[in-house]
Amino acid sequence: MEILVAYDVSTETAEGQRRLRRVAKVCEAYGQRVQKSVFECIVNAVQLEEFKHKLQREMDPTEDSLRLYRLREPRERYLQVMGRQPVFDLREPLVL
């Protein structure tokens, strides 16, 4: 399944800045950054639960906000991108 992850981590303190970096690192392991605090991810049900667990460990629920949206499929029918495109398509094979 494809999900969209958006987060807002309070960075008023040094600990908040560290949390922001840790949340971003977790998201990078599961998907591609499409905006500063927005990631598109492709996961199965087990990976999604693991992903959510890791995110919850890194965030402070009293100061931070995290949202996960399941994208409707077929994605191309419901998504419009204006401006710069992502570096690569997560659904396509990656050739190095």
What are the structure tokens assigned to 21, written together?
């970096």
Q: How far apart are CA 23 and CA 28, in angstroms?
A: 9
pLDDT digits (tens, 9 = 90+) for 5-40: 999 999 999 999 999 999 999 999 999 999 999 999
The better pLDDT of the pair 91, 23 is held by 23
Burial zone of 93 (CB within 10 Å; 0-12 exposed, 13-18 middle, 19+ buried): exposed
pTM score above 0.85: no
DSSP letter at 9 equals -
pLDDT digits (tens, 9 = 90+) for 51-60: 999 999 999 9
- CATH architecture of structural domain 2-74: 2-Layer Sandwich (3.30)
pLDDT digits (tens, 9 = 90+) for 78-88: 677 777 776 65
Task: Report the pLDDT value the prediction gives residue 87, as an integer from 0 to 100.
Answer: 60
Total Cβ atoms within 10 A of residue 9: 21
Determine the 3-state secondary structure of 43 from DSSP.
Answer: coil
Q: Which amino acid is at 20?
A: L
Query: Domains of the chain: which residue ranges?
Result: 2-74
Task: Report the pLDDT value the prediction gives residue 83, as an integer from 0 to 100.
Answer: 78
